[in-house]
Amino acid sequence: MRFNAIINSICSSRSSAAIYMASLLILVILGWLDYVTGDYSLIIFYMIPVGLVTWYTGKGSGLIFSVLSFITRLLSDAASKSFELHYSTMYYWNIFVELIFLLIMCLLISALKKSLEK
């Protein structure tokens, strides 16, 4: 069986609350990994909880999880203090780009689901 079919069979039968809890757990794990790894950006992996929530619960929830992922990323950066350019323009630009990336991907996933449903 294909990986996406397995994920779909598991998630489609779950309630929205179960999807939120699983996504929050993934978000906490990613925040911890982000803290442990320090300077390495794991922003692409934050798409996992954002994508799950967007696909199975809707665009509004996905946007909220995009912001939660962004906050988690900020907090893990602040806690690690290994990033030397915390207050530079480049740091704020990179953080802004990561937020925009998460928001755009959420909107694209939502549009893809609507298109596939039609």
pLDDT at site 85: 52
Q: Do the beta carbons of residue 75 and residue 31 sit within 8 Å? A: yes
Q: DSSP code of 58?
A: -
pLDDT recorded at residue 83? 53
Amino acid at 21: M
**What percent of the chain is predicted at pLDDT more than 90?**
56
Residue with tokens 């900020």: 74
The tally of domains found in the chain comes to 1
pLDDT above 70 (res 19): yes
Range of the domain at 23: 3-117
pLDDT digits (tens, 9 = 90+) for 89-107: 887 888 899 999 999 999 9
> From residue 91, how far is each of 5, 29, 77, 84, 96 by CA, in Å?
38, 23, 10, 9, 9
pLDDT digits (tens, 9 = 90+) for 54-98: 999 999 999 999 999 999 988 888 887 655 555 678 878 888 999
- Residues 43, 101: contact at Cβ < 8 Å? yes
